[in-house]
Structure 1
Amino acid sequence: MRDRLPPLRAMRVLEAVWKHGSIAAAAENLNVTQSAIGHQLRQIEEWSGVRLMIREGRRVQLTDAGESLALVVHRGFSGIRHEVDRLTMRERLPVTLAAMPLVAQNWLLPNLPHFHERHPNVALHLATIQSDQPMTPEPDVTILFSLSGDLPAGAKPLVNGKAIPVCAPSYLARHPMQNDADILTARLLQDEDSRMWSDWANAAQCAVPEPPTKGLLYLAGSNLLTDAALAGHGVAICREALIASYLRDGRLIALSQTAIDTEACYYYTLSNAGRKQSTVSQVVSWLGALAQRIPHR
């Protein structure tokens, strides 16, 4: 059976042509002749049976198929380059802890000194992950979110994911709010999960507000939503556990006892490799201690 991978040297040439925009520039970058570049590209064409180049006079450009293959090749080589850059780190056998951006930024990063005080000999690699985009290689410990509270096999709950309306003191000073109904007259900041305000209005037994006709803003992701609330742009529904430090120091104010997503939770999973590492248990123990320190209202 024919190998489904074309010659790797030719793939490197294809990436160079795509990246630098011409055969001449690719030849200069790779320190080879232009005829050598053309020969390598023809190798891929012969191997695949698909035309990768269009010649227009003295100019040569990639076809749509060539552009598509070059982009995939570039992503693959970029992954290899990135992993090579991390070889020195991996030699030190760090525990890879991956979490969604807001969890990593608001909860893990501020508490890293606490981890290093307790476990000075454990190397830690902190990374961010999107729940629908798995990392390669799989992290030793991954923190994810479940809206329903249903967890995959082997997962362990970490902290509650209930959400409450909050705003900055500066916004509250400009728009006083005395009760739940008042909250719904404020500028309601929305992330892409647009059901949150209607769910909250129902939980508060208030009329569901109509979307504004002007100035409606959707913020992509919890990070931007929290930042917008901190900047005083309006009222946001945020996961209480992840803004605990902002509530504690007064940068955000909880406006109501009414919460939604009370069954939601953040949870962690261990990879097969993570289960075999003795240092992973120390990271898990630290996460449990952090979870216990989050105040409950």
Structure 2
Amino acid sequence: MPFPSLKSIQAFEATARHLSFSLAAKELYVSQSAVSHQVKSLEKALGKPLFQRQNNRISLTVYGDALYLVARESFARLKTITDNLSYQSKFKIRVMAQSAIAIDWLARRSVHFQQQHADIEVEIAMAVSDTDFDPFDYDVIVATWPQPDNFKSEAIRKEQWYPVCTPELLATIDLSSPTNLLHHTLFSSENKQDWKMWMKQYRIETIEEAELQLFSNTILATKAALSGLGVALSCDFLCYDLVKQKQLAAIKQWPYDLPWGNFTIHYRENSHLSEQIQIFKNWIIKTSQDERL
């Protein structure tokens, strides 16, 4: 059979992404009937239904779902290369970073990477959860999240977590026993699970003795420790600069392993930007390994 027209595949991809003929038409600046005609033409050429149509709503069939996965990836790669060609020979890589590492580590260090590699433009976005974005929109993901489909993964380093507080508060803590931390407010970012695991490691049997204040993520708990009114559990990625600036003190004699606390760099397989992605990946790993408290 002859290869289907690019226009029909484009109409199908936009319709599948929006699950709407009208929204696809709006995006492509054509009429809804034109989009519908292109999709029906593609279905006729393939001899397979791509959408189920019922009560003015559409959904992908198993054939449509299979084609959409490939079409989405192909159009994403086309957009990347055309964007790069239009940036006057600069190579642009799109990076998604978990908020915990993006805010106080990656954002400010990426400026140094940009100075060292003027031909590579790095666009950084951040998210709290891996459900907040589509991996297909990015070339690199830096996070504690699982490996997405069509990505390779490499551990950045083995991360160690430990209590942190202000130097002034640390001066008032009896460091002869970890149980003495329970005399202070504990800032938790994992609904008490982080401190429960820390206590289990040091054979502290109950958490009820401690006053805990809950936060939605680790960066907020770490920032709360700057108040001088309590202790958080943090790591080098989150508090390296704060410790170096003596705004926080790391209590590293009482570390623990957080099962979900190791950061990984996921990068797209078979990308035409493989060389630039490797340069960026190696820079993150080397920079992070050079910065250990």
Interval of TM-score (by shorter of Structure 1 and Structure 2):
0.5 to 0.7
Q: Which residue of 1 aligns with 2:140?
A: 141
One-letter identity of the residue aligned with 2:161 = A
Q: Please report how far the alpha carbon of residue 282 of structure 1 lies from its aligned counterpart in structure 2 after TM superposition.
A: 1.6
Deviations 1:151-195 (A, max 9, x none): 78831000223210111124335x433231211221111113421
Report the CA distance shift for 1:231/1:48 in structure 2 as closer, same or farther (over 3 A). Answer: same
| 8 A contact 1:160–1:262 mirrored in 2 | no
Task: Give TM-score scaled by structure 1 length.
Answer: 0.63
Q: Which residue of 2 aligns with 1:109?
A: 107
Q: Which residue of 1 aligns with 2:243?
A: 247
Q: Please report how far the alpha carbon of residue 89 of structure 1 lies from its aligned counterpart in structure 2 after TM superposition.
A: 8.6
How many residue pairs match? The answer is: 219
Deviations 1:62-101 (A, max 9, x none): xxxxxxxxxxxxxxxxxxxxxx9xx979943411111101
Pair 1:132 & 2:114 matched:
no
**Consecutive unaligned residues in structure 2, runs of 5 or more:** 1-14, 28-53, 58-78
One-letter identity of the residue aligned with 1:160 = K
C-alpha distance in 1, partners of 2:188/2:107? 25
Pair 1:155 & 2:153 matched:
yes
Q: Please report how far the alpha carbon of residue 49 of structure 1 lies from its aligned counterpart in structure 2 after TM superposition.
A: 6.1
Q: Please report how far the alpha carbon of residue 205 of structure 1 lies from its aligned counterpart in structure 2 after TM superposition.
A: 2.8
| 8 A contact 2:160–2:257 mirrored in 1 | yes
One-letter identity of the residue aligned with 1:142 = I
C-alpha distance in 1, partners of 2:147/2:24? 45
Q: Which residue of 2 aligns with 1:5?
A: 20
One-letter identity of the residue aligned with 2:20 = L
Deviations 1:220-270 (A, max 9, x none): 111211110122231001123331222222111122412222664211111
C-alpha distance in 2, partners of 1:113/1:91? 22
C-alpha distance in 2, partners of 1:257/1:185? 18
Secondary structure of the residue aligned to 2:233 is strand
Q: Please report how far the alpha carbon of residue 276 of structure 1 lies from its aligned counterpart in structure 2 after TM superposition.
A: 4.0
Task: Give TM-score scaled by structure 2 length.
Answer: 0.63
Match of 2:167 among 156, 162, 169: 169
Q: Please report how far the alpha carbon of residue 127 of structure 1 lies from its aligned counterpart in structure 2 after TM superposition.
A: 0.9
C-alpha distance in 2, partners of 1:89/1:276? 10
C-alpha distance in 2, partners of 1:287/1:142? 12
Match of 2:276 among 276, 279, 297: 279
Pair 1:182 & 2:166 matched:
no
Q: Which residue of 1 aligns with 2:204?
A: 206
| 8 A contact 2:101–2:237 mirrored in 1 | no
Secondary structure of the residue aligned to 2:278 is helix
C-alpha distance in 1, partners of 2:207/2:86? 55
One-letter identity of the residue aligned with 1:252 = L
**Consecutive unaligned residues in structure 1, runs of 5 or more:** 13-46, 51-83
